[in-house]
Amino acid sequence: MKLIHLADLHLGKRVHEVSMMEDQRVMLDSVIDLCRREQPDVVIIAGDVYDKPIPSVEAINLFESFLLALSALDKTVLIIAGNHDSGERLSFGDVFFKKEGIHIAGVFDGALDEVVLSDEHGDVVFYLLPFIRPMHVRRFFPEEEILSTEDAVRCVLRSVGKSASTSGDAVCEVDASIKEVARSTNEGAGRRVLHSAGKSSSTRHVLIAHQFVTRSGSAVIRSDSETLQVGTTDQVDVSLFSAFDYVALGHLHGAQSLAEGVWYAGSPLAYSFSEIGQKKGALVVEFGSDGSPIVRQEPLASLHTMRRARGTLDDLLCAGKTLERSNDPSREDYLEMTLTDRGPVADPMNRLKVYYPNVMRLVFERVHEETDHKDALVDSDDLGKLDPAALFARFFELQTGRPLSELEHNIVADAVKSASDAYDVNADSASVSLENDIGSSDEVNGDTAVTFAESVSDNSISGNANTSSSTHQRESEQTFRDPSYELSDDGTPEGGT
């Protein structure tokens, strides 16, 4: 039996606000071409069909066209929901789809969906496990303590075989075997146990899942475009899957094998610049008579290449002119461009897009001298003792690695002086306005008004009012502190104390 393993299509995705829809259309057409060449029995999509739980109409239409093309080739299609999908929406119409050989597992309902196919060597049982977290599983296993995603997956795998189309004795045997496997980390022993419990020794077992699977003692390949987990509660150790002949995983965007027969297909397109070194495509899996899978990666067509470029603005513009004159298609690539100019540059993005129309991201590289950087801009100095020009000069040097030039220093000094002068004028105007407002009140004597005006100028509230005006002074203090506190037409405060 031959499988094509796909995952993480992320239909409808935008990368740096650039729509990937046309790129995805070309990629899916390439999958159809691959199916015509390879003639697989099954096409697997291991989660994250869409990029958002509520996909756009365009993304839905694109996926519909893809499924119609697969159905026309008479292929069995197995789909599970990923963490980016809405399981309920993805599995809409699944009863009708099953009649067309399209099986969708959107939401975990207490047991895994199972699809059994046969070839000349026997049966192949596919188990469809949509993306789960502990909250999705706890209500189905109230007797279990489920604190992590690994606990949840372990409980679900113990239920494998309960709904299999075998005799009653065989069902019990399979269930007991899976429970034994779930407690074991010995891959070879686990696989032998599950084989001995199946319909025959040639029965092969395939799990389709979308989880963050790790291997003890080894790092997995991660990408910026994946949803990052904090901590380890979402991690599932690869040893839990030791009973299966092949595990078709989705979630991580880099194609990789975590153990014998346990594979991430990766995303078929690069969805971040951290993925440009990864080989993208689909996995073709063939089973031999002994149940061992043979896996190879096949490339898929892409509309644009994603790459990085680096240099000064003038150098990049010069290179762009050369590419334009030679009609080089690489100028259409999706680009992250790093500018190494030491000084300021004018309107770099629009100037670069003249020659590189698909610049996605612009990065400014600043050369820093090797010094011991401190955690804070100001450590022991009192912030209030630093004038704004000196503070800005320190910030500028920290960010750029060089001090202000004489011209730049003069510009900053002029800006600080202009701002200070404007602040002083506004402060004086505010004091005069407040003094006039207070003086217009017949209930506040002249001494109190003068005292309060002087206190405002000192940015503090004085208590020199006489006893008969103490209440009005408290109200005046609130007037100063609360801009929403207004005076009535006769000058007395309104709104309560």
- CATH number for the domain spanning 254: value is 3.60.21.10
Instruction: Domain of residue 45: give its range.
Output: 2-298
**Residue 109 and residue 24 share a domain:** yes
**Residue 325 and residue 272 share a domain:** no
**Residue 458 and residue 315 share a domain:** no
**Residue 326 and residue 231 share a domain:** no
Q: Mark residue 292 as left, alpha or beta (left: phi above 0; alpha: psi -120 to 50; beta: remaining).
A: beta
Beta bridge partners of 378: none
Residue 464 lies in a domain: yes
Using alpha carbons, select from 212, 216, 160, 207 the residue that is nearest to residue 185.
216
186-242, pLDDT tens digit by residue? 444 344 334 434 444 578 999 999 999 998 756 676 666 555 555 567 889 999 999
- State yes or no: pLDDT of 70 exceeds 90: yes
Helix 168-183 to helix 187-197 angle (10° resolution) is 170
Q: CB 462: neighbour CB atoms within 10 A?
A: 15
Burial class of residue 452 in the structure, from the number of CB atoms within 10 Å of its CB (0-12 exposed, 13-18 middle, 19+ buried):
buried
Q: CB 52: neighbour CB atoms within 10 A?
A: 15
**Residue 327 and residue 204 share a domain:** no
Pick the last residue of a domain from 298, 314, 340: 298
pLDDT band at 94 (very low <50, low <70, confident <90, very high): confident
Task: Give the span between the Cα atoms of 431 and 141, in whole angstroms.
Answer: 71
User: For 87-108, what is the mean pLDDT?
Assistant: 92
Residue 141 lies in a domain: yes
Task: Give the span between the Cα atoms of 149 and 438, in whole angstroms.
Answer: 67
pLDDT at 158: 86
Provide the number of structural domains found in the chain: 3
- State yes or no: pLDDT of 68 exceeds 60: yes
Burial class of residue 177 in the structure, from the number of CB atoms within 10 Å of its CB (0-12 exposed, 13-18 middle, 19+ buried):
buried
pTM assigned to the model: 0.69
Query: Which position has the token pair 């990049």?
Result: 316
In this structure, what are the phi and psi dihedrals at residue 190, rounded to the nearest 5 degrees?
Answer: -60, -45
In this structure, what are the phi and psi dihedrals at residue 212, rounded to the nearest 5 degrees?
Answer: -90, 95
**Residue 330 and residue 240 share a domain:** no
